[in-house]
């Protein structure tokens, strides 16, 4: 465990070694690599037997749950953890924007990408759950 922590510290150090200008190149990898992994897991998940049952369950909504307050609390909690508005990351990213940056476009784009990623991740999770239930 300590060795893994050391590796993470070294990666962070060398990513930020020469300042913010070189970290832009690192961001291309760290931002896109999770989507590559998600795509690989999605392809693997849909090839499993029984995955169609899990995906069918994922896409069949339960409209009675809309009236349950706990569902809305869980959804709001998911949004706050997913977007992380109170963690300071968005503020740190915003400090590097130009003064006249279109923040509305950035907010809509960030929310859309976050929602789409969560939706695709649901396919990955429920395809594996369908396999496990098979």
pLDDT tens by residue, 26-59: 778 888 899 999 999 999 999 999 999 999 999 9
CA quadruple 100, 101, 103, 108: dihedral sign = positive
Q: Among residues of the chain, what percentage have pLDDT more than 70?
A: 94
Residues 78, 114: contact at Cβ < 8 Å?
Answer: no
pLDDT of residue 20: 67
Q: How far apart are CA 22 and CA 30, in angstroms?
A: 13
- Least Cα distance to 70 among 59, 81, 78 occurs for 78
Name the binding residues: 82, 114
- pTM here? 0.76
- Least Cα distance to 127 among 61, 62, 41 occurs for 41
Name the binding residues for Na(+): 82, 114
Residues 114, 82: contact at Cβ < 8 Å?
Answer: yes
pLDDT band at residue 16 using 50, 70 and 90 as cut-offs? confident
């Amino acid at each position: 465990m300590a060795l893994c922590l050391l590796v993470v510290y070294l990666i962070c150090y060398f990513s930020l070694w020469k300042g913010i200008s070189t970290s832009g190149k690192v961001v291309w990898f760290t931002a896109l690599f999770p989507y590559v992994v998600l795509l690989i897991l999605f392809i693997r998940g849909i090839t499993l037997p029984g995955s169609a049952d899990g995906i069918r369950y994922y896409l069949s909504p339960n409209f009675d749950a809309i009236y349950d307050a706990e569902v809305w609390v869980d959804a709001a909690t998911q949004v706050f953890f997913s977007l992380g508005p109170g963690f300071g990351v968005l503020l740190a990213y915003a400090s590097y924007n130009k003064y006249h940056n279109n923040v509305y476009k950035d907010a809509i784009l960030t929310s859309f990408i976050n929602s789409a990623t969560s939706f695709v991740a649901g396919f990955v999770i429920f395809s594996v759950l369908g396999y496990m239930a098979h």
